[in-house]
Amino acid sequence: MSNKNALKPAIHMQKVCKSFGKLAVLKDLNFEIQPSRKVALIGPSGSGKSTILRILMTLESIDSGRVMIDEEVLYEVKEGAPPPHLAEEHVSKIRAKVGMVFQSFNLFPHMSVLRNITEAPVHVSRISKEEAEARALEFLDLVGLKNKVNAYPAQLSGGQKQRVAIARALAMQPRIMLFDEITSALDPELAAEVLSVLRNLARTTDMTMLLVTHQMHFAQEFADRIIFMEHGTIVEEGSPEKIFQQPKEERTRSFLKTVLEAT
């Protein structure tokens, strides 16, 4: 299924199962993502796309299977076995390689924009305050919000909040960035400004990026690989051209038809 490169996969999920109560969200999921690739996860809501991101960010555990990041095991659970206790140190080390931007921004409302961005670099990565601030300004510039350094989240528009959230995640210098429906809570014109930031980012960095989105047009131009999911399994994957122009599976076709007609 996947093209075996010489490169080691940045993300590797093997036979991952996850359910919430009786509802199985991920069923025996297998996939790998090579470093520097930009991958978009698409599919109807409830298909398990966001759960994948949340597992990679250690916000959810798994029921069984194996999850590896940069060749290091994050989770490994045998079927039916109790979840193993993970050493916080180990998880924290792997977690440092991953950054995430959320649908609801989740900025810290009691901190200025600058502190939102510098707090983790200073207190988690332990770099100096001056360096953190210099870096923060760089990233704020990148997302076009250098003039909002001293503002508080409550004073920003939704689109601006999301751009700060992107800068905040970037400031931790992760190798892998996860974007979880980051424009779903935004009006179209505000979504456009966030997407344009993302587009630039995708072009200029070699970070691995995994994006969950409902905006097919954006997925098409952002990603070099598309994964279509439904009911907790991968139905089809491939290049954007292949998925959008000649989808093999009937389920992919009917999904794309419904979504593209609606927009």
Partner 1 sequence: MSEIFGWLPNLLSGLKTTLLLTVGATFVACPMALAAGLARLSRNPFFYGPAVCYIEVFRGTSALIQLFWFYYVLPHFGFQMEALTAGILVLGLNIGAYGAEVVRGAVQSVPREQYEAAKALNFSKMQTMKKIILPQAFVAILPPAGNLLIELLKSTALVSMITITELTFKGQMLRASTLKSTEIFGIILILYFLLALSITHGIRKLERRFSYVKV
List of residues contacting partner 1 (CB under 8 A): 57-59, 88, 92, 95-96, 98-100, 102, 104, 106-110, 119-120, 123-124, 152-155, 168-169, 172
The distance of closest approach from Cβ of residue 91 to partner 1 in the complex, given in angstroms and rounded to an integer, is 9
**Residue 28 near residue 233, CB atoms below 8 Å:** yes
Distances in Å between the Cα of 245 and the Cα atoms of 41, 233, 253 are 17, 21, 10
201 vs 243 by CB, closer to partner 1: 201
The distance of closest approach from Cβ of residue 101 to partner 1 in the complex, given in angstroms and rounded to an integer, is 9
> Chain-centre distance of CA 47, in angstroms?
16
The distance of closest approach from Cβ of residue 169 to partner 1 in the complex, given in angstroms and rounded to an integer, is 7
Tokens of 244: 């959008």
54 vs 146 by CB, closer to partner 1: 54
**Residue 174 near residue 125, CB atoms below 8 Å:** no
**Residue 184 near residue 214, CB atoms below 8 Å:** yes
Nearest-angstrom CA–CA distance, 200 and 205: 9
153 vs 159 by CB, closer to partner 1: 153
60 vs 76 by CB, closer to partner 1: 60
The distance of closest approach from Cβ of residue 4 to partner 1 in the complex, given in angstroms and rounded to an integer, is 31
**Residue 208 near residue 35, CB atoms below 8 Å:** yes
110 vs 257 by CB, closer to partner 1: 110
The distance of closest approach from Cβ of residue 88 to partner 1 in the complex, given in angstroms and rounded to an integer, is 8
